[in-house]
Structure 1
Amino acid sequence: MLATRKPLVLSLLGVLMLSAGPGFAQDAAPHDDNARIRLAMLQPPRSGLTPLSDDAFKLSRWSAAETLIRLDPDGLPQPFLATAWAQVDDHTWRFVIRKDVKFHDGTDLTPERVVASLVAATQAAPKPRILDGVELEITADGDDAVLVRSRDVDPLIPNRLSSPQLAILAERAYGADGRVNPIEAGTGPFVLKEINGTTSAKLDRFDGYWGERAQVAGIDADYVPDGTARAAALRTGTAHVVEAIPVSQAALLDQNLIHEVPMPRTNTLYLNTKNGAFANPEMRRIAAAAIDRETIVRMVYEGRADVARGLLGPALPWADGLRAAVGAPEPGDASGAKIVLATFTDRAELPEVAVFLEQQLTQAGFDVTMEVRQYAHIEADALAGRFDAFILSRATVLDSGDPVAYMFSDFACEGSFNISQLCDQDVDAALRRAAEAAAGEERQRAIIEAEAAILATHAAVPMLHERVIQGEAADVVEAVRDPRERELVNTRTHIRAE
């Protein structure tokens, strides 16, 4: 049972956020107030920028859509569209809604509007992954608050409500067919004006914003899946800020313009436990023993990554201190077992990783066929279990600041992103214990126990933890270097005046 019953006492940081909006004091340096910031984004949208998909993180990175809660660098909840919250009982939380907030279409933020947005997320098919295994009832409570009731005891309700996939949008965003169109429907300092398919998007400064005024006039975002082209955009000045410059391009750029950001992102080999060769646990152990992580980090990432000791990397410093040492599996001979190894091109390093894995698995006796496509063209087949092995770069705390949601999504029997097709009762039991544990050290220990249960199945072989390389032009000030990939441009980001 949870002991917390008192309203949260806001820290000085929270008070500052309440009074000044999501940003802090304005940068006093001269800036070009009419400048537009140009972005080269890694991946095009997959679902028309609906916030009920991973496209939500683009809306968040552009500061177009906002949530009730935001997380601080330690993953702790802070005020955003909710100014305060309290736990009413084991299953119920009350969130006070910020007053005097306008949506981009001029309508008001109200508790009823919050309820409608959150209910739409709970009824989506598929659900946002932050809601995997979670059942919520959301109702208005008077004219200033909403109540969120969970079926199960859930200490992470505030964290869950920070997920960009639970952004609060205006009524106009929601169509009768269940589709969500975010144009002119958010509450952030930038208003989405144009969605140009998988090519680009345009945003303008929103002068009716409840917080501090943005320091640039707008954002022009281009989708540039090719890593070499993204690097060229930084080199030539075509883009002010560039996402995910490939390691192979980093050495060719002005080192003053690139910045390494340690990421809670793990490069993992997922093995199909339901069909094919890896339905046999012994074959999974042979594959796990064959992986030479150090060579991959050295040769593909040029040392700009960390060798994995588990699913959770150095971005969660507490994980390694709680993790027990586990011996490596013994090498074996796969005796010519046929497997299809797949990955995608959107992250430039992954096809190179696939080449090394093909060599290592072949040496272990597997007969390997490779398949490489763009992510948009391969995700459905991966989720349907059509490959024996799949290489994925996976964010581990993207949604809630807590890795349980990622673990449940990827490894629970009912997980919505279960590429390994894993269904293991010990894993599910460990995930339930972690989900029910109180925040803090108790929860951290339960998470590491769940990680150990997952790794014992060899359904996932973590290889390395990535560091993202972000490019920023010399005249860009305060672009956000966010390990959780939620922010990129905010109210303080600007272009230095000449």
Structure 2
Amino acid sequence: MRLPARRLLPATALTAASALLTGCFTGTEQTTDASGPGGKRIRVAMLQPPRSGLSPLSDDAFKLSRWSTAETLVELDEEGDARPALATEWRRSGRSWTFTLRDGVTFHDGTKLTPETVVESLTRAAGASPKPRILDGVDLTAKADGDRVTVTTATEDPLVPQRLSSPQLAILAAKAYRGKTVDPVGAGTGPFELTKVDGTSSATLDRYDGYWGGKAKSPGIDVTFVPDGTARAAALRSGEADIVEAIPVSQAAVLDQDLVTEVPMPRTNTLYLNTEKGAFKNPALRAAAREAVDAEAIVKGVYEGRADVAEGLLGPALPWAAGLRTPVEHTEAGDPAGRTVTIGTYTDRSEMPEVAAALQQQLQQAGFRVKLDVREYANIESDALAGRFDAFVLSRATVLDSGDPAAYLYSDFASDGTFNLSHLTDAGIDEALKKAAGTPAGDARRRAVVEAEAAVLAQDAAVPMLHERVIQGDAAAVVGAAHDPRERELVTADTYVK
């Protein structure tokens, strides 16, 4: 891939970044511990602060996974197939799956992994409100079966093992569930123990020497939450951080390219159109918006070529999708005739406001009048879910939870999906989604997934614009940092700083 020319940060940007770094990284000086290969703690700069007190029943679960502190019964390999984790094997009988637990696993509080603790974790997740996305449309129960755990669903579900790999179904010690909220501090099973959380500013993890998989190579992890992308990039440049996630494309070119890793990922930047009310209740105006979007211009102008123009909701991280697609028939576009629409998006990913501004210009050229509402994600998500915008721009992971896109499609486009930003209600789409969800893994399931994707695209409920790439920064002294397209791993037991 041809990299864009190097550019220097303006002096004002450098000054702002320095000020942010001074505040964000105070007290995160590198410390050493001779007991590890590198002997140094790993300093990590993360994009988004916790939204729900690091509850595993929220998207915060992926932080716990990326820090290797909370684990699941099952993991996914690079192909998205299930492999053993806290469970060593499983077998299916109709609607039930029986999992054999790994021997010798202890939680960070010293208690043992038992069928009862597994059942409690899964039961709390299944009964949560809202449910974890991975359980959208799934009625799941768990019970202890001797020294095993049996998971049963209301209907036959060929993806139960993949679902149980979701970080939102992490298994925690009983102490985590004693209050009204789930507290993961000192309750995981991973190589690092979460010992302290300082609100939305930082988190501390120490090596857990009783880890069933062997001693971690680093003595611990010091996490700082830095929503500002310029400050995160500057943290890598200045040596304030060892690993930096989600480097903005605007900053990637000014970094030492030897420190930057770029990987196509199953994340699509999508314009969700509100089909329930407002201008985009009209299918013809949704079609007009779709036709107005120039995704290639956004890729070149905002992402500096570090993204892929979308051909559908599923991108190059799922290469099988492109070969199965057929042309989609759309509604004929109507005339916007000065209709006013409001587009919402968030500041947590620095590209999003720029994407919204580009869309504003493109839609205005087509005849719409466009207002923007841009806030931090924590302050805008509830309004988006409540349908208070005509459109919403979101960077959405398409296989984040199960490694299979059917769950994402259901969550975002089913009538009862819990993340239905388009407020779409369509019996034909619901049927296509249910067919995809119930088809056994393999080629038939993939065809059903692509058919469901086509049904959504035909309604112009969402306009996929581009597929993002992971841009991660690792200091030269970092060894073994994970570069995970699904954003489940970052620091593992094998990661350390020389």
Give the aligned partner of residue 147 of structure 1.
150
Query: 1:119 is matched by which residue type in structure 2?
Result: T
Which AA in structure 1 matches 2:75? R
Secondary structure, aligned partner of 1:392: strand
In the alignment, which residue of structure 2 is the partner of 1:243? Answer: 245
Structure 2: gaps spanning 5 or more residues: 1-34
Cα distance in 2 for residues equivalent to 1:321 and 1:295: 25
Give the 5 Å matches for 1:177-256: 177=180, 179-256=181-258
Name 2:48's counterpart in structure 1: 43
2:355 equivalent among 345, 353, 356? 353
In the aligned structure 2, how far is the partner of 1:328 from the partner of 1:124?
38
Is contact 1:227–1:348 with CA below 8 Å preserved after alignment?
Answer: yes
- Tell me the CA shift for residue 325 of structure 1: 2.9
CA separation of 1:45 and 1:404: change in aligned 2, threshold 3 A = same
1:383 aligns with 2:388: no
Structure 1 residue 363: Cα displacement:
0.9
> Could you tell me how far 1:253 is from its partner in structure 2?
0.7
CA distance in 2 between counterparts of 1:368 and 1:280 reads 17
Q: Measure the CA separation in 1 of the matches of 2:410 and 2:98.
A: 26
Q: What's the counterpart of residue 454 of structure 1?
A: 456
Aligned to 1:97: 101
Quote the Cα distance in structure 2 between the aligned partners of 1:56 and 1:393.
Answer: 18
1:112 aligns with 2:116: yes
State the distance in 2 between where 1:201 and 1:139 align: 33
Aligned mates of 1:444, 1:278 — CA distance in 2? 30
* C-alpha contact 1:63 1:189 (8 A) present in aligned 2: yes
Residue 98 of structure 2 is aligned to residue 83 of structure 1: no
CA contact under 8 A between 2:330 and 2:458: conserved in structure 1? Answer: no
Give 1:205's aligned amino acid: R
Kept after mapping to 1: 8 A contact 2:331/2:458: no
What's the CA shift for 1:134? 0.2
Letter in 2 for 1:189: P
2:205–2:220 CA contact under 8 A, matched in 1: yes
In the other structure, the counterpart of 2:57 is: 52
Mapped contact 1:286–1:329 kept (Cα < 8 A):
no
TM-score (norm 1): 0.92
> Hey, what's the Cα distance between the residues in 2 that align with 1:432 and 1:325?
22
Letter in 1 for 2:432: A
Q: Residues 54-453 of structure 1: matches in 2 within 5 Å?
A: 54-88=59-93, 90-142=94-146, 144-177=147-180, 179-326=181-328, 332-453=334-455
**Which residue pairs with 1:10 in the alignment?**
none
Separation in structure 2 between the aligned mates of residue 353 and residue 112 of structure 1, nearest angstrom: 48
Structure 2 counterpart of 1:46, which letter? R
Q: State the SS of the aligned residue for 1:467.
A: strand
Say if 2:286 and 2:333, in contact at 8 Å, map to a contact too: no
Q: What letter corresponds to residue 48 of structure 1 in structure 2? A: G
- Equivalent residues of 2:39, 2:497 under 8 A apart: no
Deviation at 1:137, TM superposition (A): 1.5
Q: Give the Cα separation in 2 of the matches to 1:73 and 1:273.
A: 36
Deviation at 1:34, TM superposition (A): 2.7
Distance 2:44 2:342 in 1: 36
C-alpha distance in structure 2 between counterparts of 1:318 and 1:230, whole Å: 34
Per the TM alignment, residue 327 of structure 1 is displaced from its structure 2 partner at its CA by: 6.5
Could you tell me whether the CA contact under 8 Å between 2:329 and 2:458 is conserved in 1? Answer: no
Contact 1:69–1:78 (CA under 8 A) maintained in structure 2: yes
The aligned residue for residue 4 of structure 2 is none
Residues 262-286 of structure 1 show CA distances to partners (whole Å, capped at 9, x for unaligned) of 1100000000001110011111010
CA distance in 1 between partners of 2:423 and 2:124 (Å): 28
The answer (yes or no) to whether the contact 1:289–1:328 under 8 Å persists in 2 is: no
**Normalising to structure 2: TM-score of the pair?**
0.92
Aligned equivalents of 2:195 and 2:155: distance in 1? 40
Q: Which amino acid aligns with 2:162?
A: N
- Asked whether the 8 Å contact 1:422–1:459 carries over to 2, the reply is yes
State the one-letter code of the partner of 2:70: A
Alignment identity in percent? 64
Cα RMSD between the aligned structures? 1.1
Secondary structure of the structure 1 residue equivalent to 2:304: coil
Whichever residue aligns with residue 98 of structure 1, its letter is R
Shift of residue 333 of structure 1? 2.5
Uncovered stretches (5+) of structure 1, i.e. residues with no partner: 1-29
Instruction: Say if 2:284 and 2:331, in contact at 8 Å, map to a contact too.
Output: no
What are the superposed Cα offsets for residues 140-194 of structure 1, whole Å, 9 maximum, x if unpaired?
111x2100111011000000000000000000000342x1000000000000000
Q: 1:249 and 1:329, CA in 2 relative to 1: closer, same or farther beyond 3 A?
A: farther
**Aligned partner letter, 2:72:** T
CA contact (8 A) 1:288 1:329 kept: no
1:139 CA drift (Å): 0.6
List per-residue Cα deviations over 1:47-102 (Å, max 9, x = no partner): 000000000000000000000000000000000000000012x2011000111110
Deviates more, 1:30-39 or 1:122-131: 30-39
In structure 1, what is the equivalent of residue 12 of structure 2? Answer: none
Partner residue of 2:7?
none
- What CA distance in whole angstroms lies between the structure 1 residues aligned with 2:98 and 2:123? 16
Write the distance in 1 (CA, Å) between the matches of 2:78 and 2:441: 16
* Residue of structure 2 equivalent to 1:22: none
- Alignment match, 1:18: none
The amino acid across from 2:152 in the alignment is R
Q: Structure 1 residues 329, 252: closer, same or farther in 2, change over 3 A?
A: farther
Given that residues 259 and 469 in structure 1 are in contact (C-alpha distance below 8 angstroms), is that contact kept between their aligned partners in structure 2? yes
